[in-house]
């Protein structure tokens, strides 16, 4: 979690807008998302279903859904390379070395009929010819690095012969095989038991520290990011609501949505709440561009203009920003 | 427990005694539930927690009658439920109702919300007019507006709303036992809170006993009175939720608790080894947690720890319990003694 602020960011997302077009139906998935990750930095993207966090991760990777027309505006650069303008061929040749991804369900992201060593080094062998012996040795090294016991024997096994936690380690080995600059992990531990989750997250942190790559941890669980990421980006209905140092966002959030989200999480410590403070209402339809703030209808401090005027980015503190009219008023009042 | 004169609030609504469930396919046998006992009274919530493979869902299936026990019994209001009774019979009598993880998938997508909730009533022969009123009541009980949501199909409502419809539908049969199997796991945090609030209100107001199955200790703490911790089909620890989570007596409970990340709370010591749980295909000798336990001794491999008293209303199955839990020489013969003490 040490970032050298002077270096250029390894990942830049600028004012990203993504629409899915299917027939005459348009889904406005992302509406002007911007973020930055520096070398060696870990950021968390937190959001509920419909927040657009997974589409954001896939757009960064350059994955476009098949069978759906996608209209993308804005910019995505990984180590300065434009991911939006790149051809499918370029994306394929960059896959794994520029940005790579760890998925939620390792059982489904790996081919059950192929020995794991081949899948681990796929990102390397896809791009250049590597003698099988060397490739296999590289896979064994990677398995050792991600803490799989008896890596020589396990390299020859099939995905079905691993436990969920061990298989996710295989997924991590595959993701780092070609030394990516940015590693994206989309809910990497959601399918795992809580006792295993911790070890997988420890491993991700270790891998990031050793390689110096940028890490983007995408999750619905705000609790997971504490101690794991330098900064947190909170998303809702395709927009960034709040960005700031993880410890501050998790303890003293500025945005009403983040506040509501934190309050609704049942706790293991402190008094038991007989009635949890739920956030009433539901996500606005994504079939229309959101006017104003997308959280306005559910927000306890909403004003008239929240429904119509898009809230500005308000700097709450150094590196801590909230997109909210109420926060803007507070800042104005304290000036 | 069999005499009909026992006051209703004293008789456990549901009692599970020495339950053993095995799954056999060919030569391989999975020992899914090994000698588990607990009891529940009306208006109480008992949570079953544990990792995948701990047997929590299998216990629920045995209670509903979807799987037959190898040994032991399930008693409903003191009456033994025969293992060979078909699930259909049980469902029609409606004493035990279940709410599943996937809310939209557990409702009929071609029927309106109203019709989904009315179905169990119609099966019981409730007249049309009364059925309509009852559906309204049930939807209101779970905090849904019958006028706007009633005519919609499950695909046209949100996940949280669909889960509340499932709860209303389960309650339509006026069950004695409501089983919620990971009922909030698929929901977003902001929605999960609403559904948890509804479940708690329902248990209080309808005087139903809820068996709440979850992997999430924080959710369990919020919703249950009693918690039973399972590891590989063995009952590790049982007792009042707040006491058990505040000061676990079993090393597995402590490890589970330490693994839960909470915003703003640093993670504690993992309290367990990196070992994977043992294979469920081997008939467990001794304690199933011993390979992952930091306090394990030879005794733990040789002898299965009996459930012993570990404080008021608490039982622990451990040779070396944490916090110097008061151990008595007398093993608790059924967990119910510990729970109801």
Model confidence at B327: pLDDT above 60: no
pLDDT digits (tens, 9 = 90+) for A110-149: 999 999 999 999 988 887 888 999 999 999 999 998 988 8
A110 shares contact with chain B (CB less than 8 Å): no
pLDDT at B297: 94
Predicted local confidence at residue B18, as pLDDT? 93
Averaged pLDDT, A13-32: 94
pLDDT score, position B138: 95
Measured in angstroms, the CA of B59 and the nearest CA of chain A are apart by: 19
Average pLDDT across chain A, whole number: 91
Question: In this structure, how many other beta carbons lie within 10 angstroms of the beta carbon of residue A107?
Answer: 16
- Give the chain B residue nearest A195 (alpha carbons): B259
3-state secondary structure chain B: CCCCCCCCCCCCCEEEEEEEEEEEECCEEEEEEEEEEEEECCCCEEEEECCCCCCHHHHHHHHHCCCCCCEEEEEECCEEECCCCCHHHHHHHCCEEEECCCCCCCCCCCCCHHHHHHHHHHHCCCCHHHHHHHHHHHHHHCCCCHHHHCCCCHHHCCHHHHHHHHHHHHHCCCCCEEEEECCCCCCCHHHHHHHHHHHHHHHHHHCCEEEEEECCHHHHHHHCCEEEEEECCEEEEEEEHHHHHHCCCCHHHHHHHHCCCECCECCCCCCCCCCCCCCCCCCCCCCCCHHHCCCCCHHHHHCCCCCEECCCCCEECCCCCHHHCCCCCCCCCCHHHHHHC
- What is the reported pLDDT for B85? 56
The verdict on a CB contact (< 8 Å) between B193 and A276 is yes
3-state secondary structure of A25: strand
Question: Is B218 in contact with A265 (Cβ distance < 8 A)?
Answer: yes
Judge whether B115 is closer than 8 Å to chain A, CB to CB.
no
Q: What is the DSSP string of A184-225?
A: EEESTTTTS-HHHHHHHHHHHHHHHHHH--EEEEEES-HHHH
Who among B215, B242, B261 is closest to A224 (CB)? B261
What chain A residue is nearest to B199 in terms of C-alpha separation? Answer: A275
Q: Provide the shortest C-alpha distance from residue A59 to chain B (in Å).
A: 23
Please give the pLDDT value at position B334. Answer: 45
Task: Enter the tokens of residue A70.
Answer: 């996608």
DSSP 3-state of A114:
coil
pLDDT at B78: 83
Taking CA atoms, what residue in A is nearest to B242? A272
Identity of the residue in B191, B215, B222 whose CB atom sits nearest the CB atom of A272? B222
B269 interface with A at CB cutoff 8 Å: no
> In this structure, what DSSP letter does residue A75 have?
E
Q: Is the ipTM of this complex over 0.85?
A: no
How near does any CA of chain B get to the CA of A6, in Å?
29
């Amino acid at each position: 979690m040490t970032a050298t602020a002077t270096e250029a960011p390894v990942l830049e997302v600028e004012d990203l807008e993504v629409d899915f077009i299917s027939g005459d139906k348009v889904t406005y998935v992302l509406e002007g998302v911007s973020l930055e990750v520096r070398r060696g930095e870990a950021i968390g993207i937190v959001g509920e279903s419909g927040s657009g966090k997974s589409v954001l991760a896939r757009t960064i990777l350059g994955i476009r859904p098949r069978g759906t027309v996608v209209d993308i505006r804005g910019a995505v650069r990984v180590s300065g390379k434009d991911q939006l303008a790149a051809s499918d061929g370029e994306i394929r040749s960059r896959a794994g070395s520029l940005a790579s991804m760890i998925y939620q369900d390792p059982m489904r992201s790996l081919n059950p009929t192929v020995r794991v060593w081949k899948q681990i080094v796929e990102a390397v062998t896809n791009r250049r010819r590597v003698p099988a012996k060397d490739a296999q040795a590289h896979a064994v090294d990677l398995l050792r690095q991600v803490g799989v016991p008896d890596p020589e024997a396990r390299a020859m096994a099939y995905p079905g012969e691993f436990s969920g936690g061990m298989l996710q380690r295989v997924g991590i080995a595959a993701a780092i095989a070609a030394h990516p600059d940015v590693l994206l992990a989309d809910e990497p531990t959601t399918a795992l038991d809580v006792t295993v989750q911790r070890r997988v997250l420890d491993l991700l942190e270790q891998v990031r520290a050793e390689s110096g790559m940028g890490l983007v941890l995408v999750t619905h669980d705000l609790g997971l990011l504490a101690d794991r990421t330098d900064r947190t980006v909170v998303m809702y209905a395709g927009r960034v609501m709040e960005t700031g140092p993880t410890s501050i966002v998790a303890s003293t959030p500025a945005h009403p949505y983040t506040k509501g989200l934190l309050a609704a999480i049942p706790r293991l410590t402190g008094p038991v709440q007989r009635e949890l403070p739920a956030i009433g209402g539901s996500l606005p339809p994504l079939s229309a561009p959101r006017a104003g703030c997308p959280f306005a209808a559910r927000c306890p401090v909403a004003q008239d203009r929240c429904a119509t005027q898009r809230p500005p980015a308000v700097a709450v503190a150094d590196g801590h920003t909230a997109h909210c009219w109420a926060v803007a008023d507070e800042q104005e009042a304290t000036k | 427990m069999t005499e009909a004169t026992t006051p209703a609030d004293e008789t456990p609504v549901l009692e599970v005694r020495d339950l053993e469930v095995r799954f056999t396919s060919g030569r391989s046998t999975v020992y899914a539930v090994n000698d588990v006992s607990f009891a529940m009274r009306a208006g109480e919530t008992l949570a079953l927690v544990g990792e995948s493979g701990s047997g929590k869902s299998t216990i629920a299936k045995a209670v509903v009658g979807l799987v037959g026990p190898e040994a032991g019994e399930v008693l409903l209001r003191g009456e033994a439920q025969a293992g060979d009774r078909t699930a259909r019979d049980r469902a029609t009598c409606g004493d035990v109702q279940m709410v599943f993880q996937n809310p939209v998938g557990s409702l009929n997508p071609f029927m309106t919300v109203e019709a989904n909730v009315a179905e169990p009533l119609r099966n019981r022969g409730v007249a049309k007019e009364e059925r309509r009123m009852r559906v309204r009541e049930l939807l209101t009980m779970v905090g849904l507006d019958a006028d706007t949501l009633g005519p919609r199909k499950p695909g046209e409502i949100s996940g949280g709303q669909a889960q509340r419809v499932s709860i209303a539908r389960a309650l339509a049969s006026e069950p004695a036992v409501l089983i919620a199997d990971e009922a909030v796991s698929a929901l977003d945090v902001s929605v999960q809170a609403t559904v948890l609030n509804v479940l708690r209100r329902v248990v209080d107001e309808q005087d139903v006993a809820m068996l709440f199955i979850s992997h999430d200790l924080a959710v369990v703490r919020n919703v249950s009175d009693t918690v039973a911790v399972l590891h590989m089909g063995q009952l590790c620890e049982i007792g009042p939720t707040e006491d058990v989570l505040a000061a676990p007596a079993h090393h597995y409970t402590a490890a589970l608790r330490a693994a839960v990340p909470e915003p703003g709370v640093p993670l504690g010591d993992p309290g367990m080894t990196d070992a994977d749980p043992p294979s469920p295909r081997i008939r467990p000798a001794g304690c199933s947690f011993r390979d992952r336990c930091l306090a394990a001794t030879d005794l733990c491999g040789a002898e299965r720890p009996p459930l012993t008293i570990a404080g008021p209303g608490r039982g622990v199955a451990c040779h070396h319990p944490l916090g110097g839990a008061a151990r008595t020489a007398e093993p608790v013969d059924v967990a119910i003694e510990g729970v109801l003490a």
